[in-house]
Amino acid sequence: MKEQGTFRVKKGMAQMQKGGVIMDVTNVEQARIAEKAGAVAVMALERVPSDIRAAGGVARMADPEMIMSIMDTVTIPVMAKVRIGHFAEAQILEELGVDYIDESEVLTPADEQYHVNKHLFKVPFVCGARDLGEALRRISEGAAMIRTKGEPGTGNVVEAVRHMRKVMDQVRQVISKADDELVVLAREIGVSLELLKEVRSAGRLPVVNFAAGGIASPADASLMMQLGSDGIFVGSGIFKSEKPQLVAEAIVKATLHYDDPKVLVEVSRKLGHAMPGLEMSTLTEADRMQERGI
């Protein structure tokens, strides 16, 4: 008998993405470029995060027609985003057959209290996190993959670095804690003791953990991999750059050879202008997407 949508199958899908680059695309042509460059998956959305920032207003799930056209174009997995807590959008995407759903702070949250109950779905979910508590809360809701939130659409890697370091630091603390200390930590960060024990015995998050939110160059990808990411999401960084095809290929190669400076020199050359970035201090409190859904 075939058992579909088990947690092992959902989590396993993310394990197959490790060491790879997942790229935001907004049309069929970009999806082709991403696949050709060696992306392990594409994220289909109507606007990349930097354009969502610029446009303002309410950002929702993309038009299914557009997602379908991308699913028909590429053979690699296709992901798509839903608003935090918007389980109806998630039901639509599952029916559509997308391979992974990103419950994303890049879109305008639909529920300020509850995330989607991801256990109810056969399709796996990825969620953003800034620290261990957020990551484990999302996993307890059924997320099969975690990514840093970073600060989307900025082309500034500083927040992704902050979040990855924070998670890694907290994992190291958990590893060294005794049972009674874990009980207190579980209460402090609002997660179950069982999940913390899983982290302690595995020495890492119990699911795959990618970097996202501000990665815009091969060097950024290398940095995040060296900090312990399992792989890389690139949002605006590719198709807001001067030479998307070259930047896409370079980031794929840099993610593989993140620890080989010779390769990094080679792939970082002649990439044209990177996307223009945003300094964090220019963002108002309301501009900060990472504060959504914690």
Catalytic residues: 81
Comparing C-alpha atoms, which of 228, 230, 229, 234 is closest to residue 249?
A: 234
Tell me, what DSSP letter sits at residue 108?
P
Comparing C-alpha atoms, which of 216, 294, 224 is closest to residue 24?
A: 216
Distances (CA, A) of 61 to 26, 58, 147, 181: 12, 10, 19, 42
Q: In angstroms, give the least distance from the CB of 38 to another protein.
A: 5
> Is 28 or 76 the residue whose CB approaches another protein more closely?
76
> Is 59 or 212 the residue whose CB approaches another protein more closely?
212
What is the layout of strands, in order, in the sheet containing 41-44? 208-210, 145-148, 125-129, 100-104, 78-83, 41-44, 21-25, 232-234
> Is 42 or 84 the residue whose CB approaches another protein more closely?
42
Q: In angstroms, give the least distance from the CB of 211 to another protein.
A: 15
What end-to-end distance do the CA atoms of the chain give, in Å?
A: 38
> Is 98 or 212 the residue whose CB approaches another protein more closely?
98
> Is 32 or 200 the residue whose CB approaches another protein more closely?
32
Q: In angstroms, give the least distance from the CB of 108 to another protein.
A: 26
Comparing C-alpha atoms, which of 240, 234, 279 is closest to residue 50?
A: 240
Distances (CA, A) of 135 to 4, 58, 109, 208, 285: 24, 25, 18, 11, 22
Q: In angstroms, give the least distance from the CB of 284 to another protein.
A: 38
Binding residues for another protein (CB under 8 A): 1-6, 8-9, 12-13, 15-20, 35-36, 38-41, 74-77, 94, 97-100, 122-124, 252-253, 256-257
Count CA within 13 A, CB hemisphere, residue 74. 29
Q: In angstroms, give the least distance from the CB of 197 to another protein.
A: 18
